[in-house]
Amino acid sequence: MSSSIDTRPVILTGDRTTGPLHLGHYAGSLKSRVALQRSHRQFLLLADTQALTDNAHDPEKVRRNVLEVAFDYLAVGIDPLETTICLQSALPALAELTLLYLNFVTVSRLERNPTIKTEIQLRGFERDVPAGFLCYPVAQAADITAFRATVVPVGEDQAPLIEQTNEIVRRLNRQVGRDILVEAEAMIPAVGRLPGVDGKAKMSKSQGNAISLSASPDEITDAVRRMYTDPTHLRASDPGKIEGNVVFTYLDAFCDDGQLLEDLKERYRRGGLGDITVKRHLEDILQALLAPIRERRARYAAEPGYVLDILREGTLKARERTEATLAELRAALGLFTLT
């Protein structure tokens, strides 16, 4: 960037570092981050401390995946000259802001947060919810406000976290008597979540139904071959269903040729188009999409020192920005300063 003042709207988003990213991440967020990085001032957070809130039993996994996720970012085209990539656990201002914000939110409000409620059920915590997990929406509010982000691209399931953030913002602003923190807006992707290749749930590595961004050509072929279609479409000549047919859901997400896609749907519905033919179209598209990503990823993975330099530089920049917010808030709250 040039040295003139950067007036682009600020985006903060990020990922828990619990595993390499997959095609679902690409369709749902990575692709739009690549597009947004020119029109917006974008910060990407490698959310390792947040990952610990439900992975405290496996900190090694969280550590190992910091670089894996960074490789994924760079491989899909996140440009470190446009986007600041930074490491959450290396930004102490985020932890300090979290501690301050915890006094402006009640336990019952956290327990009512729809995202948290669902996630507690999904993880089977029942009554043994780690306090860090219950409070991660407060930490995420610290992330968002520390960067003074106004745009936060998150999945639909995370929208209540932005609402919670803005409540904290309003409470703090009321407390200090001026708009010291800025409210943020969730940016929900237009495309829904990509289902797994089995059609059952969302794509997720732990479900074994994901296509990773580093999938080999054979793995892609195999995943498309296994992909769930319409179980009542037994012969090519039978009429087939598009709804709930994973191959078409993926074509909707990745096929740029709208005319071809409409044509395929029309012929499939009518009868006369076999699964194998539709799958061949999808396979060609996915092979073409993932080949350059896989190659770039391998090149970054072979140069971890170079990627570490990018993270170090991004984190230094982020440290400056987040510490400025913290200093302002400490002063506004009138915390005692030892000079």
Contacts with ligand TRP by CB under 6 A lie at 12-16, 45, 47, 50, 140, 143-144, 152, 154, 158
Dihedral angle, C-alpha 19, 28, 251, 241, nearest 10 °: 100
Tell the smallest beta-carbon distance from residue 153 to ligand TRP (Å).
7
CB 7 within 8 A of CB 51: no
Burial 85-114 (b: 16+ CB within 10 A, else e): bbbbbbbebbebbbebbbebbeeeebeebe
Tell the smallest beta-carbon distance from residue 115 to ligand TRP (Å).
9
Nearest CB to ligand TRP, comparing residues 17 and 209: 17
Nearest CB to ligand TRP, comparing residues 160 and 240: 160
Which residue type occupies 246? V
Nearest CB to ligand TRP, comparing residues 154 and 223: 154
Tell the smallest beta-carbon distance from residue 46 to ligand TRP (Å).
9
- Rounded CA-CA distance 79/65 in Å is 20
- Alpha-carbon torsion (100, 137, 182, 166), positive or negative: negative
Tell the smallest beta-carbon distance from residue 125 to ligand TRP (Å).
16
Tell the smallest beta-carbon distance from residue 321 to ligand TRP (Å).
14
- Rounded CA-CA distance 21/324 in Å is 32
Tell the smallest beta-carbon distance from residue 47 to ligand TRP (Å).
4
Nearest CB to ligand TRP, comparing residues 204 and 221: 204
Nearest CB to ligand TRP, comparing residues 202 and 281: 202
Tell the smallest beta-carbon distance from residue 256 to ligand TRP (Å).
27
Nearest CB to ligand TRP, comparing residues 12 and 78: 12
- Rounded CA-CA distance 310/313 in Å is 5
Nearest CB to ligand TRP, comparing residues 16 and 233: 16
- Rounded CA-CA distance 151/131 in Å is 28
CA of 88: how far to CAs of 40, 71, 98, 116, in Å?
21, 16, 12, 20
**Closest CA relative to residue 72, chosen from 40, 41, 46, 51:** 46
Nearest CB to ligand TRP, comparing residues 13 and 209: 13
**Closest CA relative to residue 171, chosen from 181, 162, 160:** 181
How long a stretch of residues is the chain? 339
Reported as type and span, the H/E element at residue 10 is strand 10-16
- Rounded CA-CA distance 63/213 in Å is 19
Tell the smallest beta-carbon distance from residue 176 to ligand TRP (Å).
23
